[in-house]
Amino acid sequence: MMKKTETPWTQAKLTNGSIVMPLVTLVDGYGGVSHIIRDDNCFVLINRVGESNNEPNGTFAISPYWFKEAAAALVGYITGDWNLAFQPQEEEKS
C-alpha cells in the first residue's frame, strides 16, 4: 500500500531526462515511489522504473493508470483535506 510522505520530493527525473517538481510523493514499504506532478495544467502520475549509480533516486515514467491511493492523494491535494481523501470507502457490490 502506498502512503503519502509528509513533504514531496524536491525533484524527480523522467526517463526522457526532464526534471520535474512533484506536488505529492507516495512510497511503499518495498522501495516503490510514485509522484503526482503537473504538466501543461494536467495532473500526471509517474512511477519509479529504475535506479542506477548515476541516478540513485531512480528515473520515473508516466503511468497510464491511477491506483486508489494516488487518486486519494490527488483529492487531498486539490481539496486540502487529507482526512477526507483517505477515508475508507465501502466496497462496490455487484
10-31 per-position pLDDT tens digit: 999 999 999 999 999 999 988 8
- Specify if 20 maps to a domain: yes
- Specify if 89 maps to a domain: no
Q: pLDDT higher for 32 or 83?
A: 32
- Specify if 62 maps to a domain: yes
At residue 20, what are phi and psi to the nearest 5 degrees?
Answer: -125, 160
- Specify if 64 maps to a domain: yes
- Specify if 22 maps to a domain: yes
Residue 79 lies in domain: 3-83
- What pTM was computed for the model? 0.83
- Specify if 40 maps to a domain: yes
- Specify if 79 maps to a domain: yes
- Specify if 29 maps to a domain: yes
Structural domains of the chain, count? 1
CA-CA distance, 90 to 12, in Å (whole number)?
Answer: 34
Tens-place pLDDT, residues 36-94: 999 999 999 999 997 765 666 889 999 999 999 999 999 999 988 877 666 555 555 55
Sign of CA dihedral 37, 39, 44, 45: negative
